[in-house]
Structure 1
Amino acid sequence: MPQEFAPGLVLQDFTPPLDLSQYKLIAFDMDSTLINIECVDEIADAAGRKAEVAAITEAAMRGEITDYKDSLRQRVALLKGVTVAHMEQVYNERLQLNPGAAELVAACQAAGLKVLLVSGGFTFFTDRIRARLGIDFARSNVLEVVDGVLTGRMVDQPWGDICDGEEKRRTLLEVSTLMGIPASQTIAMGDGANDLPMMGVAGLSVAYHAKPRVRAQAKVAINQGGLDRLLELQA
């Protein structure tokens, strides 16, 4: 049975204390986990399609849409015509790190963990967040741009076409293998249904202000406060 360790900090299948030194890698989702927005929804605002895109995003995150790749293609198609200048505006004016994000990343790095950012979002944003937080590895999707304008398509990458839930899982395992560690020495944090595959193979899964299905399956759920509340589980 889940138990509330402290207000808004629920333990489903985890007994403190947390010893970060037992882990070697922490993987974060980006949108609504490390940062405060769903970037695709905010980009769509420029095209006057935010409500339409946000409804698809919400259904995908709840797990009501089983084909994440198709749902993302639908949303990206609706971004056609949006300029790179508008995406810059989203980054500069709307995007913020979630509370405790920088603190948790720094604490993990101080404990010797490598950090992975793996997102169903876009490199335009993940590249900036990676640099801002000093993240070691990142994987996300590439929006096709022609003459400073989105085409409504994504660009295939050497590892595949779209970073969906299965690709998040595969990436976590791939990085673990590269580091020479078992998946049991990894932590995965996310909020949506497409995070469940990587959370399912990690040694410690953490839901952050997550959808009900994700909260129910995570070992730890942070339902109030910042990401760094995970550190409250340390001795």
Structure 2
Amino acid sequence: MTVARFLVVLDADSTLIRDEVIELLADEAGRRAEVQAATEAAMRGEVDFASSLRSRVAALEGVGIDAFERVRARIRPTPGVRELTAAVHERGGVVGVVSGGFHEILDHIAPGLGVDRWLANRLAIVDDAVSGTVEGDIVDATVKARSLRAWADELGVKTHATIAIGDGANDLEMMAAAGLGLAFNAKPAVRAAANLVVGPVDLRAVIPLLP
């Protein structure tokens, strides 16, 4: 069993990366405006995340799997992400990402950003195109918090040695479950609930907070 000194768990969209992947996918369907509005409402906590995600994924129906490569090419890593993950590793920590986004994108970008483990939703594919549904359970706020606790248990990390970093309402349970909950590039409700608010959109600002 791998044992770590501490665990840092980040959200993906607008935290690990600058983009909202579902909006980039919606571009491929010509439906970005409606999906973007629904995403923003979900991140503000105005609507149930799981219901919102299902409706937004329905808007992706018919997008071919060849679009995934184009979307991956558009992803912009958040400034400082590689420096943060390197600093975590130098100090004996582990980096996790738990995302309301999609494995189809995260599986390709996470390793290069220094992420050790990750969990996301998986799009159902039929005839080489998005069917408009999600496979399996949706990664919502409860699943994010549960993942942080499970990874900490697996790594032998006590709760006080966990850090959760997020921007949206879907991250609040995970932030509450962690020893330190950081609002990063965050919506007002998340900033209000966090232990600390990181001001600059640069993940290097988190390095001085590492154990």
CA distance, structure 2, for counterparts of residue 228 and residue 145 of structure 1: 37
Change (3 A) 1:169 1:233: closer
Counterparts in 2 of 1:11-50, with a 5 A limit? 24-50=6-32
Contact 1:117–1:126 (Cα < 8 Å) also in 2: no
Q: How many Å apart are 1:104 and its aligned residue?
A: 0.5
Q: 1:211 aligns with which of 181, 187, 192?
A: 187
CA distance, structure 2, for counterparts of residue 103 and residue 77 of structure 1: 37
The equivalent residue for 2:58 is 77
Q: Which whole-Å deviations, capped at 9, do the CAs of 1:87-144 have from their partners, x for residues lacking one?
A: 211111x211010011101101111101111000000111112221232211110001
- Is 1:52 equivalent to 2:28 in the alignment? no
Contact 2:16–2:78 (Cα < 8 Å) also in 1: yes
CA distance, structure 2, for counterparts of residue 82 and residue 31 of structure 1: 20
Q: How many Å apart are 1:186 and its aligned residue?
A: 0.3
TM superposition outliers: structure 1 runs of 4+ over 2 Å: 231-235
Identity between Structure 1 and Structure 2 (%)? 45
Contact 1:25–1:115 (Cα < 8 Å) also in 2: yes
- Is 1:86 equivalent to 2:62 in the alignment? no
- Which amino acid in the other structure matches residue 143 of structure 1? L
Gaps of at least 5 residues in structure 2 are none
SS in 2 for 1:84: coil
Q: 2:134 aligns with which of 145, 154, 159?
A: 154
CA distance, structure 2, for counterparts of residue 225 and residue 185 of structure 1: 23
Structure showing greater radius of gyration is 1
Q: How many Å apart are 1:171 and its aligned residue?
A: 0.5
Counterparts in 2 of 1:113-128, with a 5 A limit? 113-128=93-108
Contact 1:23–1:187 (Cα < 8 Å) also in 2: no
Instruction: Give me the TM-score of the superposition, normalised by structure 1.
Output: 0.84
CA distance, structure 2, for counterparts of residue 125 and residue 218 of structure 1: 28
CA distance, structure 1, for counterparts of residue 51 and residue 81 of structure 2: 30
The equivalent residue for 2:198 is 222
Q: How many Å apart are 1:217 and its aligned residue?
A: 1.2
CA distance, structure 2, for counterparts of residue 234 and residue 46 of structure 1: 39
SS in 2 for 1:207: strand
- Is 1:142 equivalent to 2:122 in the alignment? yes
Deviates further, 78-87 or 191-200:
78-87
Gaps of at least 5 residues in structure 1 are 1-21
CA distance, structure 2, for counterparts of residue 183 and residue 80 of structure 1: 40
Deviates further, 29-38 or 225-234:
225-234
Contact 2:72–2:109 (Cα < 8 Å) also in 1: no
Q: 1:99 aligns with which of 74, 79, 94?
A: 79
